[in-house]
Copies of this chain bind each other. A is one copy, B any other.
Amino acid sequence: MSGTITMTASEVEDLASGALVAAGTREASARALARAVAAAEREGIRSHGLMYVPTYCEHVTCGKVDGQAVPEVAKTAPGALRADARNGFAHPAIDAGFEQLVPLARSQGVAALSVHNSYNCGVLGYHAARLAEAGLVGLGFTNAPASIAPVGGRKPVVGTNPFALAVPGEGAPALLIDQSASVIAKSELMVRARTGEPIPEGWALGPDGEPTTDPAVGLKGTMAPSGGYKGFGVGLLVEVMAAALSGANLGIHASPFSGTAGGPPGTGQFFLAISPAAFAGDGFGARIADLCAAITAQEGAHLPGQRRAANRARSDADGIPVPADLHARIAELAGGR
């Protein structure tokens, strides 16, 4: 089958949800994850859209994810929430945590949520943006199986560990930063390894710690940190927040996010939600607008999150293009639901 079909975000969500439920995911968890899948498609982040759904389903089937898990959220201190994802998907645990986090941050000025026994949370910025949509500055961290070595070393210690910052705007976030600690996503190496195309020097290191242009050698070695030791430092910041401070598995002990082996990865997330009203005095929105304008006024410069916002607008106007064979594959997983 070839060609492309056009879907609405709501249709993408229903398709993904049906496949997840058919694989053995409880309805509420499937919905939480499917909403994020639809948001990724809407923002043009195909790698975390429908393309990922067969893997999610496979991970429920093989037991990497407990589809029936019901997350538990405990309030451990007046400004502190601790979520146990119970080896289910990350999304329902984060959703359950955010229900309490948002009002708590508004009343406390700042509040935080840690998530453990968790899983790959998909696009981290998706979660941070939801805090911004509630009028809060959202700062999120998520860890992953180790793939980046410290500068001078050869063994991976931290994952590609992104952080995300979302700043409230009119409706959508005024600013959304969502960036990993590596030069490039590991999936780019996987793509090149399949096609046999070399990678640019600086993307990855071989098992000997030396730079390589062979994607297969890079996949056996480590991902290069962005900006050398400072990129590793960002990855370490994320590892401390999302794993050590959340009570989750460190990346050096987590099972892979890909494949079916190793059981639940047990990785973690950490989210800070901050009320501008408590810290910023007057003119928070004006200062953010001023800062963003200093970037957008420069030809050739881009505001982080600008592309995703443009993709959202285009998806809402023209629909979301989905490869027909991918649609058929997921519809089959959904069993005609």
Q: Which residues of A contact B (CB under 8 A)?
A: 76-80, 82, 107-112, 114, 116, 137, 139, 146, 149-155, 157, 163, 165, 167, 175, 177, 179, 183, 225-231, 233-234, 236-237, 239-241, 243-247, 250, 252, 270, 272, 274-284, 287-288, 290-291, 294-295, 298-302, 304
Contacts and interface: CB of A to CB of B under 8 A. Distances in A.
Nearest to A286: B244
Contacts of A243: 287, 291
9 contacts: A137-B241, A137-B245, A153-B299, A179-B229, A183-B227, A226-B228, A244-B288, A247-B279, A250-B290
Contacts of A153: 295, 298-301
A107 B77 contact: yes
Contacts of A281: 82, 116, 247
Number of copies: 2
A280 B247 contact: yes
Contacts of A137: 240-241, 245
B79 A79 contact: yes
Contact of A295 (B150, B279, B302): B150
A150 B279 contact: no
A243 B294 CA distance: 15
A229 to B, nearest CB: 8
Contacts of A139: 237
Contacts of A116: 281
Given A79-B108, A227-B228, 7 more contacts: A82-B281, A149-B301, A150-B302, A152-B299, A157-B294, A183-B227, A240-B291
Given A108-B79, A112-B279, A149-B301, A236 B175 contact: yes
A149 B336 CA distance: 52
A36 B243 CA distance: 31
A316 to B, nearest CB: 26
Contact of A304 (B236, B247, B300): B236
A201 to B, nearest CB: 15
A230 B233 contact: no
Contact of A279 (B78, B163, B227, B245): B245
A177 B72 CA distance: 32
B107 A240 contact: no
Contacts of A112: 109-110, 274, 279
Nearest to A279: B114
A108 B301 contact: no
A109 B76 contact: yes
Contacts of A300: 152-153
Nearest to A278: B80
A77 B175 contact: no
A78 B77 contact: no
A253 to B, nearest CB: 8
A165 B240 CA distance: 9
Contacts of A114: 279-280
